[in-house]
Amino acid sequence: MSGIVYGVGVGPGDPELITLKAHRLISEADVVAYPAPDSGDSFARRIVADFLPKGVREIPMIVPMRVERFPAQDVYDAGAAEISKAAKAGKNVVVLCEGDPFFYGSFMYLFARLSGDIEMQVVPGVSSLGAVTAAAQTPLCAREETLSVLPATLDEAELVERLNRVNAVAMMKIGRHFAKAKRAIDAAGLTDRAMFVSHASLPEQHACPLADAPETAPYFSMIVIPGRDAHV
Ligand SMILES: C[S@@+](CC[C@H](N)C(=O)[O-])C[C@H]1O[C@@H](n2cnc3c(N)ncnc32)[C@H](O)[C@@H]1O
């Protein structure tokens, strides 16, 4: 009998923000798979390192950083093939997903490749969005306000155009797009309400008004702009 492939959200960084279900599935996994950069550790694996079962088989999927904006098709093809082989041999495979699997998560590329062929279950996780607003100590939106999630990878003119029409904003994937993001927020007249948060929920967490943010931002950072009705 085939095993099940679980896409498991492991939260934004603090291991205490892992759900009980994620903890159980990871602790009982035959095989774990996870994306990892070509230099350095996998963030998702680091979150769960303390409760990976002894001797568990690991399938790292090495995603070159230079393809940040596009799925590395061949990496996910190879990862999906290996995961499929393990599941068809009767093993339960847990794919570790930072935050929530389906919120800008690369798990979607494996799901697209495997879901017709193998039983798959998705276990939602605490998204970085909640961790960021908690770190910034600000409610995000209230009453009839809408929330816009904007990737900072959009070009500057498009960012400004969208920012001119928003209530509350979460801007993700800041990293090397930080200077452009700040210029766009400034052009839309929103800097005074904007908060910057990096590494939310981790010991190195940093939260401050955007105007006081460091010159550069790590990949794991976000800008939130609360709506005008969202008061403390
Ligand atoms: C590819 S998306 C993955 C989002 C993830 N699936 C989730 O549910 O949070 C990566 C982006 O999420 C944001 N992010 C993830 N973890 C974060 C953290 N701990 N602190 C701040 N931002 C974070 C950053 O904007 C980062 O560039």
Mutate which of 128, 132, 205 for ligand 1? The one with the most ligand atoms within 8 Å of its CB, which is 128
Q: Where, residue-wise, is CATH 3.30.950.10 in the chain?
A: 128-231
Q: Which CATH architecture has domain 128-231?
A: 2-Layer Sandwich (3.30)
Cβ pair 147, 167 in contact under 8 A: yes
Atom of ligand 1 nearest to the CA of 126: 8
Query: What is the spatial distance between Cα 201 and Cα 126, in angstroms, rounded to a whole number?
Result: 11
The strands making up 31-37's β-sheet, listed across from edge to edge, are: 57-63, 31-37, 93-97, 5-9, 120-123
Query: Ligand 1 centre and the CA of 154: distance in Å?
Result: 16
CATH for 5-123, options being 3.10.20.740, 3.40.1010.10, 3.40.50.150, 3.40.50.300 = 3.40.1010.10
Residue of the nearest CA to atom 2 in ligand 1? 104
Atom of ligand 1 nearest to the CA of 13: 19
Atom of ligand 1 nearest to the CA of 173: 27
Q: Where, residue-wise, is CATH 3.40.1010.10 in the chain?
A: 5-123
Supply the pTM of this predicted model: 0.94
pLDDT means over runs of 10, the chain (232 residues):
96 98 97 92 96 96 69 89 98 98 96 96 98 98 97 98 97 96 98 98 98 96 97 72
Structure tokens at 183: 């210029």
Query: Ligand 1 centre and the CA of 88: distance in Å?
Result: 32
Query: Ligand 1 centre and the CA of 64: distance in Å?
Result: 18
Q: Can you give the pLDDT at residue 205?
A: 98
The sign of the CA dihedral 133, 16, 199, 60 is: negative
Q: Can you give the pLDDT at residue 73?
A: 87
Q: Can you give the pLDDT at residue 231?
A: 76
Q: Which residues line ligand 1 (CB under 6 A)?
A: 12-13, 98-100, 103-105, 127-128, 131-132, 172-174, 197-201, 219-222
